[in-house]
Amino acid sequence: MNRLILLFSALLFFFSPLQAQDNRITVREALDIAFRNNPDLNRASEQIDIEVSFKGPALGLRSPEVYYYKEGINDDLFSEQTWGISQTIAFPLTSYYQRKKAAADIDIAEMRVNAIENDVRAAVKMAYAELAYAIKNVELTVREVELAEELRQTAEARLEAGESTELDLIQAEIQLTQSQNSLMEAERVKNDARYALFRIIGLNPDEQMYGITYPDTLAFVDIDISQNQVMSQITEHPEFQLSELTVKSSEREILAAKSRLLPDIRFDYYRQDFGNGYEFNGFQIGVSIPLWFGVNEGQKIQRARAIRNQAEWTLTENDLRLKEKAENAWHGYEASRQKIQAHIDVIESRSSTLLELTREGYRMGELDLLRLLEAQRTYLQGQQVFYQTLKDYYMQLIELERYLKNEIVFTD
């Protein structure tokens, strides 16, 4: 029964990717799906259209007024009637600043889309790295099952040859069963990671087929990034630029509020009829007087200045926060990179050599079962730690990527 389980697991591992190779989801495809389906991103995209719609009204053109006037209705000797059209516009300087404010708000909406895309990209890549690690963990556990099966076969052969006791066989069978249980748990974790990726990219449940596979992307690629390189690009981060644009918009709002102290202009064109052939065309122009500026325009200017001050404090806060997060991400990346290099230089080669020598020694009867089990445990734990560190390395790179202008992880 144990052999059948091992054979089934091996066949499932080696052949299922081949059967589903036409249903692969790459990182690029996952990102495309996420960008299409993410609610925050779609809401932010719609906000751009909303801000664009304010650009026309910012001109300060009010709807024209058409009017008709007549007097002397009860007097047949004399009556006056007038037809006219009136148009009120904001002072040209007011229109200029209001248009500038509307343009700044459009820039804010567009930058907010970039900021959300940056967050979505990082979330998708992190979920993909988690899934790639889970797939690697299944591979490692399959290897653990293979070693446990070899150990059981060796213990059985030595028992039949009278070179060991039944205790070794019992211990080997226990080890094999534990490894098979670990394989089932690793498969469960992989499926959880798979559905976590589906949730993040917003894939329709009907499309969440078990036949979908993923390229093996969890391999060490040494990427050299200096701390100065990261910190020098903080001002290019979408959240920082969003804060800068917010300050810029609030400053334009102050100018627009001040410009409203200037009078609106009203133009009237009319046709007068005094009766008995006395018909004339007329024109008049008027201006509004901001008499109550202390209550109206003055308060708006004060409010705009307070909003500008808030935006400047937010910019300072975001600058400090982004620098702290970028620096922590770089230190995490550098630590993971050094751990991986140390594993490659020392642990990987020596643990493999230790396992092979110990297995050979157990076959020859020179070493006992406990020594072999310890060597296997050391080897498997070393592989597990390596891929855990490799996953952390990718996570730190993905976090670091958020503060760089160009993508550095999963770019194919």
Domains and CATH numbers, the chain: 2-401 (1.20.1600.10)
Model pLDDT for residues 52-84, shown as the tens digit of each residue: 999 888 888 888 889 887 776 665 655 677 888
* Mean of per-residue pLDDT scores for the chain: 81
Give the residue-averaged pLDDT of 283-300.
81
Contact call for residues 211 and 20 (beta carbons, < 8 A): yes
pLDDT tier at 242 (50, 70, 90 boundaries)?
Answer: very high
Q: Which residues are paired to 61 by β-bridges?
A: 89
* Whole-number pLDDT of residue 210: 53
DSSP β-ladder status, 80-89 and 279-287? unpaired
The span from the CA of 363 to the CA of 155, in Å, is 9
The span from the CA of 11 to the CA of 20, in Å, is 14
* Greater pLDDT, 272 or 43: 43
Per mean pLDDT, which range of 41-45, 255-259, 260-264, 273-277 is the poorest? 273-277
The span from the CA of 131 to the CA of 60, in Å, is 55
Token duo for residue 46? 């719609």
Q: Please determine, for residue 391, whether its predicted confidence score (pLDDT) is greater than 80.
A: yes
Per mean pLDDT, which range of 15-19, 50-54, 160-164 is the poorest? 15-19
pLDDT tier at 275 (50, 70, 90 boundaries)?
Answer: low
Model pLDDT for residues 320-354, shown as the tens digit of each residue: 999 999 999 999 889 888 888 887 777 666 767 77
Model pLDDT for residues 77-128, shown as the tens digit of each residue: 556 778 889 988 888 888 899 999 999 999 999 999 999 999 999 999 999 8
Q: Please determine, for residue 276, whether its predicted confidence score (pLDDT) is greater than 70.
A: no
pLDDT tier at 277 (50, 70, 90 boundaries)?
Answer: low
Q: Please determine, for residue 36, whether its predicted confidence score (pLDDT) is greater than 70.
A: yes
Contact call for residues 395 and 325 (beta carbons, < 8 A): no
Give the residue-averaged pLDDT of 394-406.
90
pLDDT tier at 389 (50, 70, 90 boundaries)?
Answer: confident
Model pLDDT for residues 306-321, shown as the tens digit of each residue: 999 999 999 999 999 9
* Whole-number pLDDT of residue 278: 60
* Whole-number pLDDT of residue 250: 93
- Torsion sign (Cα): 392, 393, 396, 401: negative
* Whole-number pLDDT of residue 369: 65
